[in-house]
Chains A and B, each alone.
Chain A
């Protein structure tokens, strides 16, 4: 049982201020440690940390959380020796990098993992540029701090300029044992949700919408046994949200000279948290997504799904600005400060009200009469007219409804890339949408798929089970793709939550309606009720992981092997 002192923590854990004497030097440093070159030694070990006032053991790289930034150069060959000093098997996966299968670092698929006390040497050519990251693919180590960033310098310069750059790791820290978190969710799916609708909310809704409408609304959700407050599985009730390892109270800071152009390389290295990022007072110019340069888009706010990266240019003029990253359910936030001289602070904004799911999130976008008219023709319905679509798990999707691992099936899935997402649309700020991402370098990646493979993203919040097509990893066959084949993966999200879907080994084009300029990504945050197409050419053989990057969803079996042979 949780100690009583944690019981009233739904006012989220802000963490300890730096300088309280408890924060250890390893992660109290403002700058993320850096390594560069073509040969690296990374040592994985345990490290005592104190984020919230209690000492806990983190799993880290080179005694730092986040681990060191690796600076690579496009066109070089790198050697990375990973020494495992943890008491358990570990691994490092290079997230978003194209490399030989044996170097991908997924225990079970590409090797047996790095046993405790042993060293594994990764060697691979670097053929991309941009912002990426690395993390453990073993057990719960990613949740407990085993991740770091990769910056690959391009062979030809990026099509934008900047004077200074910072990596911004967003992550979620908990003092709780990750296995206990999953065990608790298995017993009660909304264990960590302290935004559930109460009698008071009913009274409020009655006052606003009338008694009959409020009752109808409860009957509709209750009839489906779904909750509109189902936004995140693990929340600020036990998470402290970090910027480069710093709690909101410890306040990570970055300095600038007024007028400088700063490149912020955002990496969502959280286990389970989607963040909505803004810097009040600054325009954010998105110039890169998942390592691919995109035509600049100016926004006030963007959503970053787990494992995604966004590079953003800002040009601060005045004294200090707060970097504010709310968790999607508004149960807490990560915070840092950009400042022109030490000691300055900026106001921290109030969090937005907790969002609610809608009919569209249940996969009824078409039925709810939502305005889905803006450019949603057949091009945005990948696979609609495609004969020979096969289901990835050999399942007839019509049979999914009512299966134990499935609590909902989207009846009218639709493209939702014109939307910013639950909690963002209609908030009065200019927020990034996937449909705005246009690759700078077109043409090369215009692919014509020969085959559609369809995946239903399924889950059951009551049983807390997650999978594809109503099956978890161990109950489903691998997906087979021929070497050199170009395929389209059609993702249909039947669940009420976003799932950041990640394919190892390949970058895929997201069918976002941008024609020849559709962006290349390694991770795509699929909205509830959404239907979305990804296209890639399977040009490297091997066993490649394809999974939801919400770590506990992956562990529950929302994972498949794609065998390219």
Chain B
């Protein structure tokens, strides 16, 4: 993820509206007195974790953003590799985000499914933000040029056991409008990835955790997995690191 800020920095410089810094104006004849148009960036790895059970794997779920108050660019990436180096569930998104309400952003952009399976590209449109009672949620709809539609819903919640010991339930659901056998997908609700993680924030930016991860495939997606000799549900122990910079 260390590369992300650099890459995003490059992206940002291509967007003059974001890079604008206090020019002279009626209110400020000698330029801006404050830095309210500053461009900020962060890279956050929510999950960098080993998963251990019937099949071992390594999962990542990370994102990075750069921008000011009104315009931001996001890069998101998630996926899982097994011991053979086969990558599954590799979803990567490049999104433009704009705040639309106090607590929610509208996001639009591209998603590419790039892993060991067949590649797919989607246009993405979604919302992400903070729901009442402090649930972090996002819901995104996708459309492909092949006329397929998909949707992803994610949510998590931080339960503070102490100031630094935090229990986080987390859930992700994927839906598809049409079956895509080359990616092992049936239509309808395809799969969920969930977790219950207990992290200790040595600092906000450095928090190792332990937990359990539960994945499940549904409907035809589950059938396809079983036919291929894979498991349709999988409960595994996990430990990893939540970190940001």
Chain A bound to chain B: yes
A463 touches B (CB below 8 Å): yes
Question: When each residue 172-215 of chain A gets 1 if its CB lies under 8 Å from chain B and 0 otherwise, what string results?
Answer: 00000000001110111001001111111000000000000000
Task: Evaluate contact between B30 and A474: CB separation under 8 angstroms.
Answer: no
In the complex, the answer to whether A559 meets B33 with C-beta atoms within 8 Å is yes
Show 28 residue pairs from A and B whose CB-CB distance is below 8 angstroms, ordered by the A residue: A8-B202, A107-B30, A108-B22, A108-B28, A109-B30, A109-B33, A113-B30, A183-B40, A187-B42, A188-B204, A191-B204, A196-B163, A198-B162, A224-B132, A225-B102, A225-B103, A225-B132, A467-B36, A473-B36, A474-B34, A477-B26, A478-B27, A543-B27, A554-B34, A555-B34, A556-B35, A557-B34, A559-B36
A196 partner residues in chain B, CB cutoff 8 A: 160, 163
Q: Which of A106-139 contact B (CB under 8 A)?
A: 106-113, 137, 139
In the complex, the answer to whether A460 meets B102 with C-beta atoms within 8 Å is yes
User: Size range of the interface on A?
Assistant: 35 or more
Say yes or no: is B130 at the interface (Cβ < 8 Å to chain A): yes
Determine if B36 and A404 form an interchain contact, defined as CB atoms under 8 angstroms apart: no
Q: Which of A107, A199, A404, A407 interacts with B33 by CB under 8 Å?
A: A107
Give, as a whole number of angstroms, the nearest-CB distance from A165 to chain B: 34
Establish whether residues A404 and B204, one from each chain, have CB atoms under 8 Å apart when the complex forms. no
Which of A187, A200, A222, A463 is in CB contact (< 8 Å) with B69? A463
Instruction: Establish whether residues B163 and A10, one from each chain, have CB atoms under 8 Å apart when the complex forms.
Output: yes
Q: Is A473 in contact with B32, judged by CB distance below 8 angstroms?
A: yes
A194 touches B33 (CB 8 A): no
Is B133 engaged at the interface, CB distance under 8 Å to the other chain? Answer: yes
Decide if B103 touches A462 in the complex (CB within 8 Å). yes
What chain B residues lie within 8 Å of A370 (beta carbons)? none
| A200→B205 CA distance, assembly (Å) | 23
Cα separation A462 to B104 with both chains bound (whole Å): 10
Q: A1-B205, A407-B102 are in contact. Are A222 and B132 (CB under 8 A)?
A: yes
A405 vs B34: C-alpha distance when bound (angstroms): 17
> Do the beta carbons of B203 and A1 come within 8 Å of each other?
yes
A564 to B85, CA, bound (A): 69
Residues of B within 8 A of A405 (CB): 69
- Known A-B contacts: A108-B32, A561-B33. Give 12 more (CB < 8 A): A4-B203, A8-B202, A106-B33, A109-B29, A139-B35, A183-B41, A186-B42, A225-B103, A404-B100, A473-B27, A557-B34, A557-B36
- Smallest distance from the beta carbon of A181 to chain B beta carbons, Å? 12
A563 engages B27 (CB within 8 Å): yes
Residues of B within 8 A of A563 (CB): 26-27
Expressed in whole angstroms, the minimum distance between the Cβ of B191 and any Cβ of chain A is: 29
| In the assembled complex, B161 has its CB within 8 A of some CB on chain A | yes
Q: Does A378 contact B (CB under 8 A)?
A: no
Whether A367 is near chain B, meaning CB under 8 Å from some CB there, is: no
**Contact call B33/A225, Cβ cutoff below 8 A:** no
Q: Indicate whether A560 sits within 8 Å of B27 (C-beta atoms), given known contacts A1-B243, A107-B33, A187-B42.
A: yes
Q: Is A472 an interface residue (CB 8 A)?
A: yes
Q: Is the beta-carbon distance between A187 and B244 smaller than 8 angstroms?
A: yes
A225 proximity list for chain B (CB < 8 A): 102-103, 130, 132-134
Within 8 A of B (CB), among A535-552: 543, 545, 547
B102, B134, B162, B243, most chain A CB atoms within 10 A: B102
Could you tell me if B202 and A4 are in contact, using CB atoms closer than 8 angstroms? yes
Q: How far is the CB of A220 from chain B (nearest CB, A)?
A: 10
Contacts of B38 in A (CB 8 A): 182
A406 interface contact, C-beta 8 A: yes
Q: Is A7 an interface residue (CB 8 A)?
A: yes
When chains A and B are docked, how far (Å) is the Cα of A468 from the Cα of B163?
32
Tell me the bound Cα distance from A522 to B133 in angstroms.
39
How far is A545 from B30 in the complex, measured between Cα atoms in Å? 13
With a cutoff of 8 Å between Cβ atoms, the chain A residues found around residue B33 in the complex are 106-109, 137, 473, 545, 559, 561
Contact A6 B203, beta carbon cutoff 8 Å? yes
Residues of A contacting B130 in the complex (Cβ-Cβ under 8 angstroms)? 225, 462
Contacts known (A107-B30, A107-B31, A404-B102); A199 close to B204, Cβ less than 8 A: no
With a CB–CB cut-off of 8 A, which chain A residues contact B159? 199
- State A111–B31 Cα separation when bound (angstroms): 9
